[in-house]
Amino acid sequence: MEVNPTYQVPWKEELAANLRGFALVVRSAPLFSLGMLLIGFVMGVVPAFVVKKTGTLIDNVRPALIEGLDSAPGRAAKGALVAMAAAIILSQLVGPIRSSLEFGLQRRFQAHLSRRTMRGISNLPGLAYFEDPSFRDKLEVTEWIGWAPAQSVSQFIGGVQSVISFTAMAYLATSYAPWAPFLITLGALPGGIAAWHFTTVVGMVQWRYSPQIRKSNYYKALAMNRDPAKEMRISSLKDWTIGRQTEHWLAGKEEVWKKQRRTLTLALAFQVLATGVVAFVFMGALKAALAGDLKIGDFTVATGGIVGSMSALIAIFQSAASIRRGNYWLPNALRLFSLAGTAPRLDVSGRQPARPGTPTGIAFEGVSFAYQGTERQILHDLDLFIPAGTSLALVGENGAGKTTLIKLLCRFYDPTHGRILIDGVNIKEFDLADLRTRLGVIFQDFVKYSLPASDNIGFGAVENLGRQDLLVEAARRVGVLEKIEGLPQSWDTPLAREFGGVDLSGGEWQRIALARAMMAQVGGESDILVLDEPTASLDVRLEHELYEHFADLSRGKTTLLVSHRFSTVRMAERIVFMQDGRVIEDGSHKDLIARGGKYAEMYEIQASHYRLTGALE
């Protein structure tokens, strides 16, 4: 069973994380926090106040009936009744107010945390973290936090309220005997500590089994999301998916139940002890009242203080346990947030402008690369130069390293060895954001945003997202303008049926993605065009249209084209054939065919399937 190691956090780190978590909550909603603290103080005092006034009423009600309501006992009884009524009304009023403030605090913090998490994760410059299982577990933990820190602030305020209530109730208990609060505290401590331990241990178990919980969420997503829905149904995977989700979800529950049974037995034993202590003190007060050493009113106050102090003490432990359980993952999550500022797996210290001078081209010099956690070299001492303003196609079998080369150019990873130069400068020296503004890229697994067509294309140059003239030009260049303008709401039509829009075919989506890359050219500052399998979903006619437009698309741009379709790579001025992470052939289409090497062999294999249609000949 895959589990994380037992998650032990030094108490200093845990305390610092909790304080930081509290600060995040208070900063997200300071007025809500202050309002809840004031209400907590009031609610902590009210119960003891009511008990005290109850004792006053009991002591004065009989004399008031004999001497009259205008007598001193009568006035005391009336004052006690009015004070009790006011306190009860106040507690009824502030209850809904506190609930409203707590709800507002949670909402404010949830929005703040979501923005913080999205900003932190989006600021990670590379992709290595997303492929790291331990990072994914940490990311899952941030989802568990939810409202926990906000609830912890509520629990903290509840704890403050309980401390105030305990202090007030303990003071009332001294009306019987000064030692009563100390005995009650000693009797309640073991049970409170046991309950605190059980509550926090649940958080530890959840952490240990976070890989299993993440897997269970994956199986749930298979059943809930649209993309896998077709295969889930055609392959009858419903029962299998539900079974796997249940298996992983319940993986850690056995340990929880085992610890629960052990702790429950201990907690019950300590609760019997606490009950015995309360009974002992209570019976002592009753004996004193029956002997006439304690007035009935004082007896009422004392016993109310005895029972109330015990309840408040238990509430203190419950609040402390809830705070620790809710924030058990907070130190780990805060480490995740800090990654955005450090990102040690990718050097982001470069600050040089990405357009240093006259463009010369892109050079890969002795580049080798292996993905983290693997020994297999995807690229081996690769040397390649692409002169500025020219087009080059990368060809090769699957796994040859073509897409990896693009990822390195985009600086999603850094080479294991070697370097990549643009215009003679190592790309590590460039400001990363500025470097990426030079790149207009369509990835093989491009994103199909469930958003309006204007956004799907405009994201290529988000700074000009509202420029309709640029959107139209980008769509026109790839031949998708007519399709967009024919949609029910034209550019405002969501490209997803589940959002009230329309679904597109694979070829239409391919053109939308191409238009997004074009938007980076016409609406941004991109001068390097990267097309990874741009015709994978296009039929022969649409591919031919793209061929006709390619010169226009790549004019003045340094263009890197990756494709398995040889009719597509013929668009480029120069073709490079890759095998096992190395360049083994380099030249024009005619040169490589005449050479009769690997390129010519694969071209002939593919051409034989199309020769009857005339697509390649």
pLDDT of residue 143: 63
pLDDT beyond 90 at 119: no
Can you tell me the mean pLDDT for 150-173?
Answer: 78
Q: What CATH class does 11-115+125-209+252-337 carry?
A: mainly alpha
Mean residue pLDDT of the chain comes to 78
pLDDT of residue 76: 84
Judge whether 558 and 362 are in contact, CB under 8 Å: yes
pLDDT of residue 263: 67
Q: Which residue has the tokens 């609930």?
A: 99
pTM of the model: 0.67
pLDDT beyond 80 at 433: yes
Give residue-wise pLDDT tens across range 37-81: 888 778 878 887 788 887 787 878 778 777 777 888 788 888 888
Our measurement of the distance from residue 599's CA atom to the centroid of its chain's CA atoms, rounded to an integer in Å, reads 46
Judge whether 55 and 297 are in contact, CB under 8 Å: yes
Give residue-wise pLDDT tens across range 271-283: 777 777 778 877 8
pLDDT of residue 364: 94
Calpha distance 435→431 (Å, rounded):
6
Can you tell me the mean pLDDT for 80-103?
Answer: 79
pLDDT beyond 50 at 616: no
Calpha distance 32→601 (Å, rounded):
72
Residue type at position 225: N
Give residue-wise pLDDT tens across range 560-571: 888 777 777 777
Return the minimum-mean-pLDDT range out of 273-287, 356-370, 462-476: 273-287
Strands (E), 44-148: none
pLDDT of residue 617: 42
pLDDT of residue 13: 62
Judge whether 8 and 126 are in contact, CB under 8 Å: no
pLDDT beyond 60 at 3: no
Contacting residues for 323 by C-beta, under 8 A, at least 6 apart: 18, 152, 155, 156, 159
Q: Using pLDDT thresholds of 50, 70 and 90, give the confidence band for residue 333.
A: low
Return the minimum-mean-pLDDT range out of 117-131, 385-399, 425-439: 117-131
Q: Using pLDDT thresholds of 50, 70 and 90, give the confidence band for residue 122.
A: confident
* Residues of the chain above pLDDT 90, percent: 8
pLDDT beyond 80 at 411: yes
DSSP state of 527: -
What are 495-504's contacts with CB under 8 Å, separation 24+? 495/448, 495/449, 495/450, 495/451, 495/452, 495/453, 495/456, 496/450, 496/451, 498/226, 498/450, 499/450, 499/451, 501/450, 501/452
pLDDT of residue 615: 45
